[in-house]
Amino acid sequence: MSFDLFLLGWTDLRAAELPADTVPARVARVDRGAAEVIAADGQHHVKYGARVRRSSVGDPVALPCVGDWVALRWLPEGRYELDEVLPRTTAFVRGGVSRDSVGGLSGDGQGQVLAANVDVVFVAEPSMHSTDFADLGRIERLVALAWESGGTPVVLVTKADLFESGLEELLADVRAAAPGVDVHAVSSLRGEGVTLAAGYLHGSRTAVVLGPSGAGKSTLVNALAGLGVMETQQVRAADGRGRHTTVHRELIPLAGGGLIIDTPGIRRIGLYDIGEGVDLVFADIEELARRCRFADCGHVSEPGCAVLASLENGELPERRLQSWRKLQREAAWMASRTDARLRKEQQNKWKIIHKEMRRSPRNRP
Ligand SMILES: Nc1nc2c(ncn2[C@@H]2O[C@H](COP(=O)(O)OP(=O)(O)OP(=O)(O)O)[C@@H](O)[C@H]2O)c(=O)[nH]1
Ligand SMILES: [Zn+2]
């Protein structure tokens, strides 16, 4: 059974990047040192070749991840090897930041790609989480990272059926926390909003679902898949006796077109290499800041501060101003860590080069 790669999101532009003597495939899941990929001739379990292993040393972002397009090379011993990760059009990268450290921040400045080549980032936030309502700060953080990925964020407020009244007010709060972003209420349980979410996947678009554990991500993915999953050969991959073995995938091609990537819930997602992401999430505050009397206004106690004025007249929630400051601090901190890491890598590179120069006979007296 052959599989149409264009339904998986393959394009002529990507075809131009494919090295000679390789075949393209899309990563459905990664394991340590190996990946499940979907190629035109079905699903394969492939190990990383030397080139991939080498390029990812000290740079985990270069490792293959779900959603990646990769080049497979056929080896003489009769199997494919993952030879190269093709250039990504988008990548959702989180920073390695943990909470339990001095000042609330720690990390090595390194990132981890959660999904690549995604057109849409579904930010799943439960309307009700145990006893709490939607966490606006978490939405702001995820939307900033979603903007930064190059994909389009869409906020899905999940488990909407848990609300009898007040859902509209909650949605209004969420919309204020993510200006310019589509916000929808979804109930996978009742099947509400699922078709609407599927609408973002028209053509062969890829979406990733991100959100905290228990947000209902897998239930939503199942509901979307309930509209039909594309059969690929490997779903019925024979184990030699014709038994059906379903291979677990995180990248799921839907029968109605498009693909969805499920991710495990992550307790804390740190910012990584943020350029404009935070500014876009806080576009309303950025707009206010442009109207402050002083161009370098710190919005603390300056006269003629439009941000403080908006805070005082109740238009700008105090929470949102705090959240803006917090994410700005984190982005700046992460940038300094990344710079420090890059500097160190550069130094190491020079050390190696100098060593080699000393070793080279040409450089000996
Ligand atoms: N009431 C209600 N419950 C839901 C809905 N969607 C999911 N749930 C429930 O919420 C719980 C968590 O759902 P999951 O889909 O496993 O959540 P998840 O985000 O995938 O969680 P992790 O896999 O831990 O990241 C389950 O008990 C679901 O039955 C919904 O639309 N309404
Ligand atoms: Zn100001």
Output the six-digit token pair for 216.
């209902």
pLDDT at 21 > cutoff 60: yes
For the chain, the domains span: 5-85, 91-262, 277-359
pLDDT tier at 360, thresholds 50, 70, 90? low
Rounded distance between C-alpha atoms, residue 341 and residue 339, angstroms: 5
Q: Could you tell me if 191 and 219 are in contact, meaning their C-beta atoms sit under 8 angstroms apart?
A: no
Its ipTM equals 0.98
Rounded distance between C-alpha atoms, residue 63 and residue 79, angstroms: 20
Ligand 2 geometric centre to CA of 286 (Å):
10
Interval 75-94: pLDDT, tens: 999 999 999 999 999 999 98
Torsion angle of the four alpha carbons 67, 206, 107, 135, in this order, in degrees rounded to the nearest 10: -150
pLDDT tier at 104, thresholds 50, 70, 90? very low
For atom 10 of ligand 1, which residue has the closest CA?
216
pLDDT at 160 > cutoff 50: yes
Ligand 2 geometric centre to CA of 285 (Å):
9
Ligand 1 geometric centre to CA of 156 (Å):
13
294-311 average pLDDT score:
95
pLDDT at 34 > cutoff 70: yes
Mean pLDDT is highest, among 227-231, 306-310, 334-338, 339-343, for: 306-310
pLDDT for 214 equals: 87
pTM for the complete prediction? 0.85
Q: Is 218 annotated as a binding residue?
A: yes
Q: Is 102 helix (H, G, I), strand (E, B) or coil?
A: helix
CA quadruple 141, 144, 149, 151: dihedral positive or negative? positive
pLDDT for 345 equals: 66
pLDDT for 55 equals: 87
Q: Is 71 annotated as a binding residue?
A: no
Rounded distance between C-alpha atoms, residue 98 and residue 267, angstroms: 9
Q: Could you tell me if 242 and 231 are in contact, meaning their C-beta atoms sit under 8 angstroms apart?
A: no
Question: The domain 5-85 is classified under which CATH number: 1.20.140.10, 3.40.50.150, 2.40.50.140, 3.40.720.10?
Answer: 2.40.50.140
* Residues constituting the chain: 365
pLDDT for 266 equals: 75
Q: Under CATH, which architecture does the 277-359 domain have?
A: Orthogonal Bundle (1.10)
Q: Determine the distance from the C-alpha atom of residue 259 to the mean position of all C-alpha atoms in its chain, rounded to a whole number.
A: 14
Interval 38-58: pLDDT, tens: 999 988 999 999 999 998 887
For atom 6 of ligand 1, which residue has the closest CA?
216
| CATH number for the segment(s) 91-262 | 3.40.50.300
Q: Is 213 annotated as a binding residue?
A: yes
Interval 105-146: pLDDT, tens: 445 567 889 999 999 999 999 998 766 788 999 999 999 999
For atom 9 of ligand 1, which residue has the closest CA?
216
Q: Could you tell me if 32 and 60 are in contact, meaning their C-beta atoms sit under 8 angstroms apart?
A: no
Q: Which residues of 233-242 are buried (b: 16+ CB within 10 A; e: fewer)?
A: ebeebeeeee
- The mean pLDDT value of the chain amounts to 84
Q: Can you list the pairs that 342-347 forms with residues at least 24 positions away whose Cβ atoms lie under 8 Å?
A: 345/58
State the DSSP code for 38: E
Residues touching ligand 1 (Cβ under 6 Å) are 158-159, 161-162, 187-189, 211, 213-219, 264-265
205-228 average pLDDT score:
88
Ligand 1 atom closest to 188 (CA): 31
